[in-house]
Structure 1
Amino acid sequence: MTQSGELDLEVKGGGTSKKTLIILISTIVMLVVAIAVGVVLFLTGALTPKAATGEAAANPKAPQHPAIYHSLDPAFVVNFYRQSQQQVRFLQVKMEAMARDSEIIEAIKTHTPAIRNNLLLLLSHQDYETIHTVEGKGQLREAARDEINQVLEDQAGIKGVEAVYFTSFIMQ
């Protein structure tokens, strides 16, 4: 120790080799820590590129292109029977279809009459008690998407509508 209370690491007669040894050990320790961190990141998947692991291929819902929306205008207006009160009810729905390929949107435009026909039939066969709930509306959205995809597959040999969204939903 020096007089000021600091530790003197230099040993007389071989100070340079001790400093070199300390630097070498420190370097080895840092290298081992860096390798350990790299191994942990690799094993947890944080360091693995998505293309190399096939994550993009394994997740088909990963967006490849931006969403394209097409409004199915005019609004659908149907009447249906409310069985619990034995009365006729009315439903007005505005919908938009979403796809990621402009070819799908063009096919929707081309086959709008068949799509509207199937959607009108679907909407008119709904039960008030079912579509009054959030879950019922979600099921109806999925059924509408399936109807559109079925028409596109039958008429154009393609399907690719990912979702149908209600932009207005009025029941009376």
Structure 2
Amino acid sequence: MKVWIVLCLALMLPFAAQAEEEAKAGPPKVSYITLTPPFVGNYGLDGGPRLKVYKADVALKVTGPEAEAAVKHHDALIRNQLVALFGQQTDLSTAESKEKLRTEALKQVQQVMNAEEGKPVVEDLLFNNLIIQ
């Protein structure tokens, strides 16, 4: 009987050590993934006399290594969605229009990740730099 108890305790040791390591590790790490190269293109192709150009440095906020790997894996699909969105814009001259673009871009990236991974994965989208000419 004593051997059985000792054997059970010995088998539980690795699980206890793993739980202790996870407790020490704390919450999952937040990462900001910069999509490189920056997005550059034309927008507002409404037939006006002036060509409008944008350059956007975009970063995605994710939590945990699995989310980071998923975003990197689907980088091309995310970039395609954002290029299409940026090209559809007509006016980016105000702070409100830029914020609206940021929230729409986040929504579309989350939709892409939800379709591919079954969950939104991306928590936030940030413009590190947004130049409009």
TM-score normalised by length of structure 2:
0.72
Query: Does the 8 Å CA contact 2:42/2:52 hold for their aligned counterparts?
Result: yes
TM-fit CA distance, 1:160: 2.6
Higher radius of gyration, 1 or 2: 1
Whole-angstrom distance in 1 between the partners of 2:72 and 2:86: 20
Partner of 2:68 in structure 1? Answer: 105
1:42-53 matches, cutoff 5 A: none
Amino acid at match of 1:114: L
Does 2:130 correspond to 1:169? Answer: yes
1:82–1:117 distance in 2 versus 1, CA, 3 Å: closer
* Correspondence 1:87-98 to 2 at 5 A: 87-98=50-61
From 106, 111, 131, the equivalent of 1:150 is 111
Q: Are the aligned partners of 2:45 and 2:51 in contact in 1 as well (CA < 8 Å)? A: yes
Structure 2: runs of 5 or more not aligned: 1-26
The separation in 2 between residues aligned to 1:76 and 1:134, in whole angstroms, is 19
Unpaired stretches in structure 1, ≥5 consecutive residues: 1-63
Query: How many Å apart are 1:135 and its aligned residue?
Result: 1.2
Of 141, 160, 164, which residue of structure 1 is paired with 2:121?
Answer: 160
Aligned to 1:126: 89
Question: 1:145 and 1:65 mapped to 2: Cα distance?
Answer: 21
Counterparts of 1:50-65 in structure 2, within 5 Å, are 65=28
Letter in 2 for 1:142: T
> Post-superposition shift, 1:145?
0.9
Q: Which amino acid aligns with 1:132?
A: S
Q: Which amino acid aligns with 1:136?
A: S
Alignment check: 8 A CA contact 1:81 1:87 kept: no
Report the identity percentage: 28
Secondary structure of the residue aligned to 1:75 is strand
Deviation, 1:158, is 1.9
Moved over 4 A (4+): 82-85
Q: Following TM superposition, by how much is the alpha carbon of 1:67 offset from its aligned partner in structure 2, in angstroms?
A: 2.5
